[in-house]
A and B are shown apart, each in its own frame.
Chain A
Amino acid sequence: MSDAATEMPHADPADETLMQVDDLKVHFPVTEGLLNRQVGSIKAVDGVSFSLRRGETFSLVGESGCGKSTTALAALRMQPVTAGRILFEGVDITHYSQAQMRPIRRRMQMVYQDPFGSLNPRMRVRDIIGEPLVVHGLAGDKVKYKARVRELMALVGLLPDMADRYPHEFSGGQRQRIGIARSLALDPSLLICDEPVSALDVSIQAQVVNLMMDLQEQLGLTYLFIAHDLSVVRHISNRVAVMYLGRIVEIADRDPLFDTPRHPYTEALLAAVPVANPVIEASRPQQIVTGEVPSVRNPPSGCHFHPRCPKVMPECKTETPALRPRDDGRLIACHLYD
């Protein structure tokens, strides 16, 4: 089941949809003993479906370990896929070889969380940003290469004279700009941004969020955005998918999701996020769920959320609810709405 089914009928799906992911599964084996006998599996991603529309920001949210990064990496084919199907610009890339992936990889790039760890400390900024061009044989002559790097630096608000410096001479926000410039070198259409601002200071976060929104507008980029900070997610997203233990429990446009969350987990998640306003805080429910986030190694039966769900019903313990389109256009996986 993909939410492409709920797209407006007049739109040509081939044009609108940049990427479509159907029933994606990524399972990791759990092995034991000297012979590495497989004794089980971690279903890090367990039947996830969504589609990305051209030019939109689609966010994946959910607690630590629920499978957001694994979903994103698998969609990029940077993580072996156990089952499911990935279409990129209408082409099924699920079983592409690495050689077949090369030209596709130019079109989808990753922006990482850690602006400190992800840049090679021994390379000059120019070569960090230009490396993808060299790797893909697109660097051209020296003059062209330098001009392209200068252009990329200008795009993300770095000064040209910074090109000869090394990463340690830069602050966190500047390093993240370097990382973004690098990811734009090959003119991608899709950027996968895994916690791109989480490691940044509050006052620097806003600079990078603005930059990302400007670049999206200028370059028509599509973002698959992963973040813990739901205020940032609300600010930047068009649509949001909420994950819990390897599955999507709700997909909706931004406003309905934040204004009237309908899956009990979405509701609990939003209630748990403190907002930066003591007046609102004083009048909000402080806690909806109790209990621990269960382990993916040993997920609860039926709906994974049922042991913590305040609205649990008998069938929730035995039957896995399907992610289905509901009358208001959103997709929810919950027996309450069946």
Chain B
Amino acid sequence: MSEAVQSATATPLLLVEDLSVSFRTDRGTVRAVDSVNLHVDAGETLAIVGESGSGKSVTAMSLMRLVGDNGTVDSKRVLFDGIDLGALSEAQMRKVRGNRIAMIFQEPMSSLNPVLTIGKQVAEPMVLHQGLSWREARRRAVTLLQRVSIPDPEDRLDSYPHHFSGGMRQRVMIAMALACDPKLIIADEPTTALDVTVQAQILALLKDLTRETGAAQILITHDLGVVARYADRVAVMYGGRVVETAPAHELYANPQHPYTQGLMASVPSLDGDPGKRLQTIPGQPPDLANLPPGCAFAPRCPYARDECRQAPPPLEPIAPQHLRACYGYE
């Protein structure tokens, strides 16, 4: 409780207000992210969960304004360590990207350059962004590779990406992400392509690093087990909006949005009653080019009433640190 009060009052490292992203497509305008509010504190891991297409990746990419030519980002403000990212020029933004904010993606193979050695790729951002000499940068690269548990890092500097396993490549990506001491780490499904034993190693590493360096982490995943193990707080997205956010233990113990409840109930658990029918959420996820006027979840919601079909409900506190976007069903 005291912890809750404290982080609610301290200025968060990242504060996102009224973030919206839309895309022009031949099917019309796709409103991928709609008035999202988020915050992440130093040392904290915020997980973003939700169905495929609910806007998780677009939210993350739009923080760095990487949304492609057909996308438009709109925000009241995106305050990162005291700077309003929304007000930066493209040149200023480029300095922030890959320097103070690090991104780790799902596909480590396509993010590493196959014709450059690992050592060159890890050292290069330090030369470019921090003005280190190549010698100095290589020395730091060894330390970083050691930190992400690559065995014999000195010998490995001259290896190429294809000499590494998927888990090792993902660790190299993390080493690169850490090279410039980022204040914010955005990890978008960083372990989806990896084995579970390797996944556990990597997520534990990211979490420890976040704690140690006082960076903030946004972890995007659809795996509610991963969230339970590694997240401090959770934002649940549906149809481009945050529908519920709460500390992880609170969200699992006391989910308050009907979508969150449906999501939690539909996951078979390792200690549940096997063989029984799983609870399901009937219906299909929404089409973002064709969203209903009210709450996007209303067509699948067992409690939906007229009000829900008219305007989307605002995200409002229902307990300390626990917010929900729902007109209520109690």
Mask: chain A, 56-98; 1 = CB below 8 Å from B; 0 = not: 0000000110000000000000000000000000000000000
Contact of B168 among A202, A206, A210, A292 (CB under 8 A): A292
Q: Is the CB of A272 within 8 A of B278?
A: no
B262: A residues at CB distance < 8 A:
203
Q: CB within 8 Å of B: which of A260-293? A: 268-281, 286-287, 289-290, 292-293
Q: Is the CB of B225 within 8 A of A275?
A: yes
Q: Is the CB of A201 within 8 A of B270?
A: no
Q: CB within 8 Å of A: which of B185-216? A: 194-201, 204
User: Counting CB contacts under 8 A, is A118 at the interface?
Assistant: no
Given contacts A210-B278, A275-B225, contact A232 B268 (CB under 8 A): yes
Mask: chain B, 269-281; 1 = CB below 8 Å from A; 0 = not: 1111011011111
User: Counting CB contacts under 8 A, is A231 at the interface?
Assistant: yes
Q: Is the CB of B271 within 8 A of A202?
A: no
Count of chain B residues with Cβ under 8 Å from any Cβ of A? 48
A173 to B95, CA, bound (A): 42
Q: Is the CB of B278 within 8 A of A235?
A: yes
Q: Is the CB of A231 within 8 A of B277?
A: no
User: Counting CB contacts under 8 A, is B226 at the interface?
Assistant: yes
A279: B residues at CB distance < 8 A:
249, 252-253
Among B165, B204, B264, B270, the most chain A Cβ lie within 10 Å of the Cβ of B270
Contact of A231 among B194, B270, B284 (CB under 8 A): B270
Mask: chain A, 160-204; 1 = CB below 8 Å from B; 0 = not: 000000000001111000000000000000000000000001111
User: Counting CB contacts under 8 A, is B222 at the interface?
Assistant: yes
Q: Is the CB of A203 within 8 A of B51?
A: yes
Q: Is the CB of B196 within 8 A of A286?
A: no
User: Counting CB contacts under 8 A, is B52 at the interface?
Assistant: yes
User: Counting CB contacts under 8 A, is A295 at the interface?
Assistant: yes
Q: Is the CB of B270 within 8 A of A269?
A: no
Q: Is the CB of A206 within 8 A of B266?
A: yes
Q: CB within 8 Å of B: which of A213-241? A: 213, 228, 230-232, 234-237
Question: What residue of chain B has the Cβ atom nearest to residue A230's Cβ?
Answer: B270
Q: Is the CB of B228 within 8 A of A277?
A: yes
Q: CB within 8 Å of A: which of B209-260? A: 222-230, 248-249, 252-253
A16 to B72, CA, bound (A): 62
A207: B residues at CB distance < 8 A:
280, 282
Cβ distance B266 to chain A, nearest Cβ, rounded Å: 4
Interface size class of A (residues with CB under 8 A): 35 or more
B226: A residues at CB distance < 8 A:
274
Cβ distance A14 to chain B, nearest Cβ, rounded Å: 27
Q: Is the CB of A293 within 8 A of B198?
A: yes
A35 to B254, CA, bound (A): 65
User: Counting CB contacts under 8 A, is B71 at the interface?
Assistant: no
Q: Is the CB of A272 within 8 A of B200?
A: yes
B197: A residues at CB distance < 8 A:
63, 268-269, 272, 289, 293
Q: Is the CB of A276 within 8 A of B224?
A: yes
B228: A residues at CB distance < 8 A:
274-278, 280-281
Mask: chain B, 159-172; 1 = CB below 8 Å from A; 0 = not: 00000010110000
Q: CB within 8 Å of A: which of B140-175? A: 149, 165, 167-168
A202: B residues at CB distance < 8 A:
51, 222, 224, 263, 266-267
Contact of A278 among B204, B222, B249 (CB under 8 A): B249
Q: Is the CB of A235 within 8 A of B271?
A: no
Contact of B268 among A201, A231, A295 (CB under 8 A): A231
Q: Can you name 26 A-B pairs with beta carbons within 8 Å?
A: A63-B196, A64-B195, A201-B285, A203-B262, A204-B284, A207-B280, A213-B275, A231-B267, A231-B268, A232-B268, A235-B268, A235-B275, A269-B197, A272-B199, A274-B229, A275-B229, A276-B227, A276-B252, A276-B267, A277-B269, A278-B229, A279-B252, A280-B271, A287-B201, A292-B165, A292-B168
Q: Top 3 closest A-B pairs, CB basis?
A: A274-B225, A206-B266, A235-B268
